[in-house]
Structure 1
Amino acid sequence: MTQAFFPIHTLETVSPELRENLATVKKNNGGYIPNLIGLLANSPTALETYQTVSGINRRSSLNPTEREVVQITAAVANGCGFCVAGHTAISIK
């Protein structure tokens, strides 16, 4: 069995329909596009779903630190090293 490869998109490689979305992400993240967003840009529906759920999470009663603790805990419980690394980086900013 071979492993599928999905590119991590940048503004230069993303489809035209998502370019404005990624430009906004880049602006809101201090000039960079997180790898997860670049990866999800391979599927407009996946990216939209992720961004919608993120928006719902931001409206919760948890503060940003508490939300990251929940995210890291879920990532560890599910064995997602990619998510653990990403949320750890966010939590120490």
Structure 2
Amino acid sequence: MTNFPVNTFDTAPERSKPALKQLRATFGMIPNILGSMSTSPVLINSLVGLFKNVHGGSFTEDQIQILLLTNAVTNECSWAVAFHTALALKEGVDPADVEAIRERRRPKDKKLAALSALAKTLIQKRGRLDDPDIELFIAAGFSKELVLEVIAVVAASTITNYTASVTKTPLEEPFQPHAWQP
């Protein structure tokens, strides 16, 4: 079995340290997934730019967490589901909506349901959305431009979801109450 390290700031490659420093300032810690990603400076540095753009974009933080949690469930990434469950709840997302997504259902909030549905469909159809997929999203009050912004969020989460799955990133103690299995 191939083991990947979960680097700390001190053990990470030098070219990964600026990214880890930025992300540690955001999270107040270095989540294990970032420690794993830091093994590749190319990967961790790619995430930082995308992360900054996604979290500075048009969606609210609770909407971003809906997207990221949906993506994690759709990609069957246990680490990311637990992590984004914790962050979604911290952002004030209704626990019933969080549980719905974890159970592969849509949130009861109509706008969040459309957001979650678009992300899930985008992943499942590998980007080949049909007009009705987009129209459902727009009918919920989102613009066409935001369809494209969802692609950026999916790209960011794909990086972390795939990394966690490949490296088998261990789940930190604070996220254990939100552990999830596909």
Normalising by the smaller structure, the TM-score range is: 0.7 to 0.9
User: Quick one: which of 63, 66, 87 aligns to 1:66?
Assistant: 63
Alignment deviations for residues 29-65 of structure 1 (CA, whole Å, 9 cap, x no partner): 22x2111111100000110111122112113211000
* Aligned residue number for residue 89 of structure 1: 86
Cα displacement (A) at 1:78: 1.2
Q: Which has the higher contact order (CA 8 A, sep 6+)?
A: 2
- Relative distance call for 1:52 and 1:27 in structure 2 (3 A) is closer
Q: Point out the structure with max Rg over C-alpha.
A: 2
Q: Which amino acid aligns with 2:27?
A: N
Q: Please, what TM-score do these two structures have when normalized by structure 2?
A: 0.45
Residue number in structure 2 paired with 1:36 = 33
CA RMSD of aligned residues (A): 1.6
In the other structure, the counterpart of 1:10 is: 8
1:6 counterpart letter in structure 2: F
Output the amino acid matched with 1:23.
K
Greater fraction of residues in helix? 2
Identity %: 27
Q: Distance in 1 between matches of 2:25 and 2:53?
A: 21
3-state SS of paired residue (1:52): helix
Structure 2 gap segments, 5+ residues each: 91-182
Which region of structure 1 is more displaced relative to structure 2, 36-45 or 6-15? Answer: 6-15
Seen in structure 2, the aligned counterparts of structure 1 residues 61 and 29 have a Cα distance that, compared at 3 Å, is: same
TM-score (norm 1): 0.82
Task: Say how many residue pairs are matched.
Answer: 90
Following superposition, which runs of at least 4 residues in structure 1 exceed 6 angstroms of deviation?
Answer: none
